[in-house]
Chain A
Amino acid sequence: MPGKITNVWQPSLIKQAVRDAFLKLNPFVQRRNLVMFLVELTALVVTIIAINDLFNSGNFKLDVQISLWLWLTVLFSNFSEALAEGRGRAQAESLRQARKDAMANKLEPDGKIEQISATRLRKGDLVIVKEGEIIPSDGDIIEGIGLVDESAVTGESAPVVREPGGSICGVTGGTRLISGQVKVRITVNPGQTFLDQMITMVESAKRQKTPNERALELLLIGLTVIFIVVVVTLVPFAHYLNVSIPAAVLIALLVCLVPTTISGLLPAIGIAGMERMLKSNVVALSGRGVEASGNVDLVLMDKTGTITLGNRMATEFIPTEGVTKEDLAEAAMLSSLADDTPEGRSILDLCKRTLGIRGRDIRAPEGSTFIPFSATDRMSGIDIGGREIRKGAGDSIEEYVNMKGGRFSEGTHAAVESISREGGTPLVVAEGSRVLGAIRLKDIVKPDIKERLNSMRKLGIRFVMITGDNPVTAEAIAAEAGIDDFIARASPGAKLEAIRKYQKDGHMVAMIGDGTNDAPALAQADLAVAMNAGTQAAREAANMVDLDSNPAKLLDIVEIGKQLLMTRGALTTFSIANDVAKYFTIFPALFVAQYPVLNVLNVMHLATPTSAILAAIIFNALIIPACIPLAIRGVSYKPATTEALLRQNLLIYGIGGLIAPFIGIKIIDILVIMLNLA
């Protein structure tokens, strides 16, 4: 995909981010992040104090440095947000580019075609897209079949087929029609296209905060209020003990104590989460969706395409007593010659292998009549000469054979049952009143699915498979793929019902869908992922769209959602654990002059009270850019049990958060003394 960014410190983005960091100092913008807004205010106050010191006698040198580092704290935070935005925007911009100058052939009601700019297209408009043109906006194909190059959106170079009706009628603005000519009904108004939404989600000002993010923000504000009380009450306490603390130092203490690290990085973490989604070609249409994805504990999956490779394959012939495998294979081949379904083709492949026919063009013999598959008879076949060959489901063939005056063979009966039990689909071949045998059609379970599901199961996620198959077959496939539960013989309404039931039991349900009939279920699910190739109805009902139309993507989405939450948690823990060291840095410094015994608390042996205060405030500022890569890439994440994850993150970010500042502050203290700043 063009513009995919892996390096956090992409030089082209940094310049813009630096500029944005200053623009975000605007109080009306800064206000969105209350804790950093407070830091900005304190920076302003200390600057005024420093200016005042310049003209009167005061500790000008210290105050100037404190104010400088306070401003930098705010700027670092703004920079992290701007950088994350920049990355997201770059990701989206490369897509928007494609659409900018596109013209559309709008079909007027009177049948005339008018050339208008793509940006003027409204919902309901009909457009004609010719071979080689860019599809002007999002819509559904209503006429014609087209081969579409979606690489601009998905990065996937192989073109895909889009056709009206069914589940592959959706086209995205900005993609190119390589062949064919299609009529598209536009489904969105200007400014609401997919790309527009995508861009909104990575821009901070328009991004909606998610419930979890708001809870964390309120917790941080609560902590900030308490630290304000702690610092403000310190003034009378100190005064009582005959110590007076300069205002600038008091402010430095406050800013060190309030959780600036996590507050400063919080917006960046959220935006980066969206951007990581984009990078795996998933467009999150709401922040809620991203967050919900981390909480999903039950996933509803269609069997076909997600768990199994798209189609069933013939794998074995089981002839009945007195019939050779070759006879059965030949009859099966004849009956499948005109069968264009993937199953039919796979039977032909198997016949060729069984009969040793190689590379020969198989044609239906002259004078044969095909009996196409019909829903009522549930079988297909061929009449050739006097032979009437039929193949179909066991019970329908049984009926057919009985009608012809024959008898269903015991052996085939057993074969049919055993195939079903093992998760296959049995087909029975008969000639006239005689049953020849069974063909085993097998669902091929995707090679890596079991492993994948197992690792997700560690996170407490259960998987439910939905299939139209009978329960026996469904159970066998579920067992092979490691699925926890299945809903067999599912009707179109079954998904919605199942989701409601599971939600009532308290589950957070995820589902993937593509067809219009999936839309109600998608709207009901907590995390609903629509295939990009799916219908517009499905895409509107979903809260995420997978550009690759790959159902297994759900697993990636869940991982990214979890990683987003974990990054917030890790940095919060780190940020508040830092306070211990900061207390031990600043506190002795404030009182040691009056009460030398308190030097015992100066465990880091910082050189002077002034150097200690400077070291703390500098560390507090620098830790923000130091954590930017973590905020943007997210904490490293491997599926593990909840307890193992907590242990690991507590060790790294909790214990690390206790220790790191002791080391960092000591080093900065040494530098401050070396540079003669204190």
Chain B
Amino acid sequence: MTLQILVYIFVIGAGLGLAVPYGRFMARVFGGERNLLTPVIRPVERWVYKVCGIDENTEMTLKTYILTLLVFELLGAILVFAVMMLQGVLPLNPQEHPALRWDRALNLAVSFVTNSNYQPYVGERELTYMSYMLGVLVQDIISPSVGLAVIVTMARCFSRGSSPTIGNFWVDLIRGMLYIWVPLTLLLVFPLISQGVIQNMNAYVVAHPLEGGEQLIPGGPAGIITAFKLLAEDGNAWSGVSAAHPFETPTGLSLYLHMGYILFVPAAITFMVGWLTKNRKITVALFSTMLLLFALSMPLPFLGEFGGNPLLQQLGVQGGVSMEGKEVRFTLFEHVVFLVTAMAPANGSTLAQLSSVMPLSILQVIFNLGIGAPIFGCIGTGSLTMIHYFIVSMFLAGLMTGRTPELIGKKLDLREVVLACTSFLMSSFTALGFSAIALSTPAGLAAMSNTGPRGLTEVVYVFISTSINNGSFMAGLDVTQPFYNLATILPMLGGRFSTLIVGLLIGGSIARKGKIPISAASLPVASPLFIIFVIFVIIILSGLSFFPVLTLGPILEQLMMQAGITF
């Protein structure tokens, strides 16, 4: 295991290390400066602007920016919804799939537009190629670009003084797609392919295994899809079993590569924010807070998984360690670190069935998601959420030291503080509210196959996961039912847009303010003290609202398990 620990630390270190120059590159891209890819992509970018009639030098006001973003997302959702409803009559439907049920189609439309990629369906059995291309793939690349555009806008707003405009949504969006996602995916697919991740357009191969019968071995562009799913944090896997499939993780090293990829772009965003705001301290602060919280997420899952299950021990399993539902090609250590690494940025890639990990692991995952997934987090929204926490922490720290709060050279007022609060309290609101509805209505209860604390955990999990646009869920709850298709829509919308719109509103109000000089008395945002304070604020203000469900779910389950009680 020592070797695995070293490899893990090395890969994560490399992923985070490479994020430093890449963050610089991203800052150049979004700052409109000359960069490595300018000679190749700039002509394409110009051409896109020309075709779409976009004037890249005209900036939008806050109101226009928000309206453009919302209308764009609305149209995107309508398109996905229409394609799914009409897929029966649209071309590219060799399997003659019928149209989706309306509740399913609506759920999928919202899910893809909000970057949740909550997938209570089996893609290949229900979606036509047309739906997959127009519905899934298009939004797959758009939704992280929208997230990126908003964090870029916020950083830009902090860097400016007294500006009535905040940037151009189209430019931010198109640059993200052209300079970031396409080249990055194309580049980073090679290390995966070198490990044997398949990348082909072959027909499925029929194998005749020894025990008889037939086995269908799929082909497809798994490399590209996997690379993109990891980098853009959408968790939309090529295979239904995600990273557990040998074509996605053919070797041990490829598994570690996955983890490095997952943290790469969110970490690079923290560096980009520093360059864009010309403030290195904010990067140090964002990055170290995230890394510290990330490290703090490790002990509980390790305790849970390696502690094992006394009930299994009674049945003769060595150490009571549960490998049920886990990919046995990988060690328990690898399972634990993969779970924490993939769930911290709300990526949602899985190596094991979520319903097969120990309660303590689920406890940590629910906590990390519940606080809004600010630990590296989704593209854009992770750093946004963390900045929202910074704003509220600065306000409280300012009170405690008798000063007006300030962040990155801007004064924080009533407006920013209140907005930041709404953003991160929103996920508690929708997650708890809809869980309560599900647990007190027959339709919600009908989908549950587990009882007791486990059943509660599963319901709460799905609503927390959708509230912060993670999109994973635990088996045991039949989420294909209309109730869950409809009930998860509001959490997905609320989680996504409360973060994005609040981010823009804060940005707009910050941009209008003048820059203030950093004085000797400005609270150093990168100091260990402030970082500890931010973590204190996250736990007390946001984490504590999940204390009851965590107690009644995973904690109760763990305690009962240790006492040998089943339910």
Residues of A within 8 A of B (CB): 211-212, 214-216, 218-219, 222-223, 225-227, 229-230, 232-241, 294-295, 297, 457-462, 504-508, 561-566, 568-570, 572-573, 576-577, 579-580, 583, 587, 591, 595, 597-598, 600-601, 637, 641-643, 645-647, 649-650, 653-654
Contact = CB atoms under 8 A, between A and B. Distances in A.
Contacts, number: 198
A652 to B, nearest CB: 10
Contacts of B524: 642-643
Main secondary structure of the interface of B (DSSP, over half): helix
Contacts of A218: 414, 417-418, 421
Interface stretch (B61-69, B266-274, B283-291, B536-544): B536-544
Interface in B534-567: 536, 540-541, 544-545, 547-549, 551-552, 555-556, 559-560, 562-563, 565
B413 A234 contact: no
**Overall SS of chain A's interface:** helix
Given A579-B540, A642-B401, 12 more contacts: A219-B421, A225-B429, A240-B439, A240-B440, A295-B403, A295-B404, A460-B522, A572-B399, A597-B562, A641-B520, A643-B524, A650-B400
B521 interface: yes
A558 to B, nearest CB: 9
Interface residues of B, number: 64
A583 B544 contact: yes
A569 B565 contact: no
B401 A649 contact: yes
B316 interface: no
Interface string B388-409: 0000100111111111100000
A457 B517 contact: no
A463 to B, nearest CB: 13
B342 to A, nearest CB: 28
Interface in B474-533: 514-517, 519-524, 527, 529-530, 533
B519 A240 contact: no
Contacts of A650: 400, 529, 533, 536
Interface of B: 392, 395-404, 411, 413-414, 417-418, 421-422, 425, 428-429, 432-433, 435-437, 439-440, 445, 452-453, 455-456, 514-517, 519-524, 527, 529-530, 533, 536, 540-541, 544-545, 547-549, 551-552, 555-556, 559-560, 562-563, 565
A639 B524 CA distance: 17
Given A233-B435, A643-B523, A216 B399 contact: yes
Contact of A229 (B404, B414, B432): B432
8 contacts: A218-B414, A240-B439, A240-B440, A561-B402, A570-B399, A573-B400, A591-B552, A597-B563
B408 to A, nearest CB: 13
Contacts of A235: 436
Contacts of B522: 460, 642
A236 B551 contact: no
B563 A237 contact: no
Nearest to B434: A233
A257 B522 CA distance: 32
Contacts of A238: 552
A646 B515 CA distance: 24
Contact of B544 (A222, A563, A580): A580
Contacts of B551: 587, 591, 598, 601
B517 A505 contact: yes
A643 B562 CA distance: 44
Contacts of B549: 237
A653 B549 CA distance: 28
A214 B533 CA distance: 23
Contact of A230 (B421, B432, B556): B432
A600 B519 CA distance: 49
Nearest to B565: A597
A211 B413 contact: yes
A595 B556 contact: yes
A366 to B, nearest CB: 64
B392 to A, nearest CB: 7
Contacts of B516: 505-507
B530 to A, nearest CB: 7
Contacts of A580: 540, 544
A367 B551 CA distance: 103
B395 A219 contact: yes
Nearest to A298: B519
Contact of B548 (A237, A566, A597): A237
B429 A215 contact: no
A508 B516 CA distance: 10
B231 to A, nearest CB: 34
